[in-house]
Amino acid sequence: MTPSFEIVIPTSGRSSLRALIVRLAELGISPECIRVVEDRERRGPAHARNVGWRAASADWVVFLDDDVLPGEGWVELLERDLEASGPDVAGSQGRISVPLPQDRRPTDWERNVQGLETALWATADMAFRRSVLEELGGFDERFPRAFREDADLGLRVVDSGRQILQGERRTTHPVGPHRFWTSVLRERGNADDALMSALHGPRWHLRAGASVGRRKRHLATTAAGGAALMALLLRKRRLAVALAGGWLAGTGEFAWARIEPGPRTPREVAEVVATSAAMPAAASFWWAVGLARARNAEPLRRPVEAVLLDRDGTLVVDVPYNKDPGRVEPVRGARAALDRLRGAGIRTAVISNQSGVGRGLVTEEELAAVNRRVEELLGPLGPWLVCPHAPEAACNCRKPSPGLVLRAAAELGVDPSRCAVVGDIGSDVGAALAAGARPVLVPNEKTRREEIEAAPEVARNLDEAVDLLLGGRR
């Protein structure tokens, strides 16, 4: 039986998307099998791909860039590639072809794009088992550009003991337009390289078959230029001239290395010379920025299977001992955050201390009416696990005891270690830790400073908490 697949296409709105959709229609792909995810908020292709595959239900998810064109027989060859993939194969990579002009040498930009032909794990045409994406958390959204997010996922797949094989299907990736300073702007990828080093070790590029370019030379050239300026400010002219000569030699060698294999037209030479003067400094700057950002980077957490939510102060504004459904007010953004969890297939439950019942301030009927109103405003939340006891009852269900977490996990059929607890105070964190679940604190004005400092993970709001739990931004 041929495995089922769905196609996910992240897009920033490029006009090339239309040609791709037309080509897929010509190949007989049903529109129901295609998910186009527009990155309206500019959160990057990693985020868009995650949105796409989490909404899919097929065995395999095929990622295509919005500027590629699948070749003849692509569907049949894709099905053959997937059918031939054994249980230890997590991914199937298409063969990328970058057409270049036949009447002249390729430009520096064209040679750069041509690198896709030999790149490992390029998501221009890449299929992954959806079960593997779920297990590993998908793409790491800390990579904000279309750069290194595919290598990161590829390394995590290989490290999990699975294979990514080259398929037989072919896809064309046109070069596409670029602007004068595009090569300089692309040096922002050095920040992503720093994150890769923090996550996978300094020799990650050897395992991923990736090139880190001329970083050492760029650093040396930038250091020479910076030192020349400093010497000039200190009025040490001879030293400044010598250092400037070093900068000029490094820049000239770099420029010629880019010019020599190219067409050497006046426009190409002018662009390469100008950008070669700026690229070493840009590369060094973004490498330093990346090192600072990645200083405490940790491997991407596996996504949770269930999220257990506190009620008062987390889902709704805290009204002490509330027994009036009319006073229920959701916290800002709660419905949207919960919809994201539902859309990702994450099960939810509510775990709540309600000592007002044990103290005689709220009846069980009044509590149930308030809880029904919460669900009317926020949608279905799964089972409700409530501790009605007063604090002096010394029960094992009142948070920070683990009782509610363990009961909720059991009702959902999920191991507590695959659950997260989201709450606004230290007792929510304590209950999670006691049960072996993952705590995420979402503080409000009533959260004590020491509770925030002691929490393993803190999010500013529910939406950011969902980002963490879906394996996205930290």
Catalytically active residues are 310, 312
CB of 225 within 8 A of CB of 247?
A: yes
Q: Assign 3-state DSSP to the chain and report helix, strand, coil percentages, each to 5.
A: 50, 15, 35
Helix (H, G, I), strand (E, B) or coil at 325: helix
Angle, alpha carbons 324-326-332 (nearest 5°) = 115
Q: CA 162 from chain center: how many Å?
A: 21
CB of 20 within 8 A of CB of 69?
A: yes
CA 383 – CA 388 distance, rounded (Å): 15
At 60, which amino acid appears? W
CA 49 – CA 67 distance, rounded (Å): 15
Q: Residue 414's closest CA among 436, 392, 393?
A: 436
β-pairing, 384-387 vs 347-353, is parallel
44 in the Ramachandran plot: left (φ > 0), alpha (ψ -120 to 50) or beta? left
Cis geometry, peptide bond prior to residue 443 (ω within 30 degrees of 0): no
Query: Bridge-partner residues for 92, per DSSP?
Result: 127, 165
DSSP string of 328-344, one letter each residue:
--BPTTHHHHHHHHHHT
Angle, alpha carbons 462-45-170 (nearest 5°) = 145
CA 417 – CA 415 distance, rounded (Å): 5
- The alpha helices in 144-234, defined as continuous H runs, are 149-159, 182-185, 189-200, 204-208, 215-233
CA 56 – CA 16 distance, rounded (Å): 23
DSSP 8-state symbol, 27 = T
As a dihedral over the C-alpha atoms of residue 142, residue 66, residue 12, residue 192, rounded to 10 degrees, the angle is 20
Contacts of 318 (CB under 8 A, 6+ apart): 312, 424, 444, 446
DSSP string of 34-91, one letter each residue:
EEEEE-TT---HHHHHHHHHHH--SSEEEEE-TT-EE-TTHHHHHHHHHHT--TTEEE
Task: Count the helices and strands in the chain (H runs, E runs).
Answer: 19, 12
